Structure 1
Amino acid sequence: MPEVQIAQIVASEFSNGLPDCLISNPQREVNMGVKGLQLCANSIMPYLLFFGNSIADRYSTHAEQYNQNINSMGHGVDLRSKSLGNTYDARNLLSTNTIKTYEPIREIIKVPINHDKPYIWNDNEQALDEYISLVADSLTDENSSLFKAIQMTANHLLIDRHK
């Protein structure tokens, strides 16, 4: 449920100290961070669920109620890294397998890991839909570094499961 996960991470009362809406540059007068992504995801999820399932028994509770307990904090990992240290390079917080995914994603979207600036700094610097499309395309491209990293992790998990 990505809309719920995004809603959790953009709300400061649930993000464990991250700024509201993951706004990286508080000096900018107008900067909505990823709140627009959260609102968009929340508005399209009913349609996506409707086409595959009955909306009456499948749609989750509205994301703004913050009552979901499964939440990925990955979206704010750069900001979390800065709040715990002096760098936006989040690799110091990630597992070895997660780093193998984190680095290829940053390569694919052409936003290099930067010690002084997080992935999202100002709203007008990037279009998240373009990034999402690039990552989605890489997930099915067997030659992409992201596909290979995920495949290695999946194989590792399968091996561990059979032990």
Structure 2
Amino acid sequence: MLDGVLGTALAAAAVLAALAAGYGPVSTIAVAACALAAPALTRIDVSVRRLPNPITLPLLVLGLASALWQLAVGNWAGPVAALAITLLLFVMSLAGGMGMGDVKLTGALALAVAEIAWMPLTGLVASFVSAGLVGIVALIRGRRRLPFGPFLVAGFAAALALQLFR
């Protein structure tokens, strides 16, 4: 139940942020869906180190719909950047650097925010920086692995919030 309450609050905030940033309807829906799923994805990834397909795949489909809409209206930079980022993480997953759930979530988040061209890269950088900082502390404490999903959610949320101050 808490996931639903938090997700609803985050989705409402994400809709307001997306609209304030000038996002169109398809991107706003994709951003809101990602925010709605964020608490559940975070809890699940922290608990069992998995990002389940029944949640990540619909988000990825919404992200792709958002990207297709952007391409249809002539906005190529953001969707191309989001796809490149997703491909990069896919290659990293093949090398064992992360799981496919992280790749799918990255794709969903990057494609959802791709209406503004620099947002996919900003979200990814914020995700890696936050994971790196926490990872250093975790290594000092003897932990070897961290779930990356919570950092993806936080990084892309931070990127969306930063867009409000441009």
User: TM-score normalised to the size of structure 2?
Assistant: 0.25
> RCO (CA 8 Å, sep 6+): is it higher in 1 or 2?
2
Greater fraction helix: 2
User: TM-score normalised to the size of structure 1?
Assistant: 0.25
Compare CA radii of gyration and give the structure with the larger one: 1
